[in-house]
Amino acid sequence: MKKISIAQGMVDISQKDKTKRVAVATARVQLSREAFGQFIRQGSPKGDVLESAKVAGIMAAKQTPAMIPMCHPLLLSKVAVAFKVDKKQKAIDVFSEVVCLGQTGVEMEALTAATVAALTIYDMMKWSDKNITISDIKLLKKSGGKSGDFLRRESK
């Protein structure tokens, strides 16, 4: 009898223990002087920029498996999105935190939340100036699971 070969797919996590998983990610939205001024003075004609970006980030975290192949669907316990407006640098830093009790990590959900929130800021402010840059998308920390904790060390 010929052995059937099955191509790789989603990783089997059925033998892994459920643990509390937490991930925090960030992204930076760098606006031009003009766009930042418009953001501070009047926001966007589309509505509240940061509230819209927060909702978009939360929704994106929940939809991560639909966007990223081989990403496990997870029952998320918490998704939070927050912002730090850096007036000196004319930038908005996006922070996301995702928590679940599960068999695999939530890094992709946190990264997706931060990225989509940043994209939403771009979308809502592009009317003012399209010279907006999204950068520095990265995982800041994660905890839980067999691989243990991770805390990003900033290189100098």
Of 12, 86, 123, 136, the catalytic one is 123
Contact 46, 55 (CB under 8 A): no
Contact 59, 119 (CB under 8 A): no
Instruction: Give the span between the Cα atoms of 132 and 135, in whole angstroms.
Output: 10
Instruction: Give the span between the Cα atoms of 152 and 115, in whole angstroms.
Output: 18
Other Cβ atoms less than 10 A from the Cβ of 55: the count is 14
Among 62, 132, 143, smallest CA distance to 92 is for 132
Per the annotation, the verdict on 17 as an active-site residue is no
Q: What is the dihedral of CA 125, 127, 133, 136, to 10 degrees?
A: 20
Which active-site residues does the annotation give? 123
